[in-house]
Amino acid sequence: MEDITKERILSAAEELFAEKGYDAVTIREITSKARCNLSLVYYYFGSKKKLYLEVFKEKWASRARELHEAFFDAIEETKPTTLDEVIRILTATYLERKMNAQNLQFHLQLIARELQKPTEALDFVFHEIIKPFFARLEDLIHPFLNPSARKDNIVLSLFSVFAQIVHIINSRHVLPKLLERPFDAKTKELLIQHITTFSMYGMNGLIMQNSRDSFITEGLK
């Protein structure tokens, strides 16, 4: 073995940190899952904290870039003409899986935990990934909006979309009980459909409201 081991440690760590959180995971657990010796974490990364950070720099960041690529590619390809389509593509990027479904889940779980109780990792991720992505998203969306839309409206609407996406992942154990149906593919399809429709109307309504003479009437009426 050489550097494959390092990769195996990172993958095991990502999964365990995502599922249980930093403190609930032991290095013994990680190396056992990665089928290697405990001390290799220290050889490759120096400490548990540094391994955790590296999960974000190596795994999380690159997955995020993949997702953003996929999103902007889909935009390029479909050349949406209404806000509705943009929101649909955004939601689908995060909930339909071109990417492996489980990896996408870990990805969202990890960031959810960082938001809840930020560490150095969030600092890195926010400046390197999230902030630039939001800037691009704002630029993308702006032309679709009536000029009266304020930056606040855009950012908060995006916030609402991501809130729903993250909450689906976070509450995936309870959701089936609330909906009284299993969390299968069909249910997931329903959830995607719901977020898209709900957010589209929400965003359109919001922006129409703070402008009387809207020309974005496509979504409603």
Partner DNA sequence: GTCTATAGCAGGATAGAC
Partner DNA sequence: GTCTATCCTGCTATAGAC
Positions touching DNA (CB under 7 A) are: 1-6, 25-28, 36-40, 42-43, 46-49
- Cβ neighbours for 140, distance < 8 A, ≥ 6 positions apart: 72, 75, 86
- Among a copy of itself, DNA, none, the one that 101 touches (CB under a kind-dependent 5 to 8 A) is none
3-state secondary structure 1-60: CCHHHHHHHHHHHHHHHHHHCHHHCCHHHHHHHCCCCCCHHHHHCCCHHHHHHHHHHHHH
Binding mask 177-196 for a copy of itself (x = CB under 8 A): xxx---------xxx-xxx-
Eight-state DSSP code of residue 144 = G
Closest by CA to 101, choosing from 174, 184, 16, 10, is 184
Q: Which of residues 198-217 bind a copy of itself (CB under 8 A)?
A: 198-206, 208-209, 216-217
Paired tokens of 108? 């969202």
For a copy of itself, the closer CB: 82 or 103 = 82
Helix (H, G, I), strand (E, B) or coil at 112: helix
Binding mask 63-102 for a copy of itself (x = CB under 8 A): ---------------------x---x--------------
Helix (H, G, I), strand (E, B) or coil at 206: helix
Paired tokens of 209? 């409201």
For DNA, the closer CB: 42 or 72 = 42
Paired tokens of 44? 């490759």
Question: Rounded to the nearest whole angstrom, what is the least distance from the CB of residue 28 to DNA in the complex?
Answer: 5
List contacts with a copy of itself (CB under 8 A): 19-24, 84, 88, 109, 112-113, 115-118, 122, 126, 130-131, 134, 152-153, 155-157, 159-160, 162-164, 166-168, 170-171, 173-175, 177-179, 189-191, 193-195, 197-206, 208-209, 216-217, 219-220
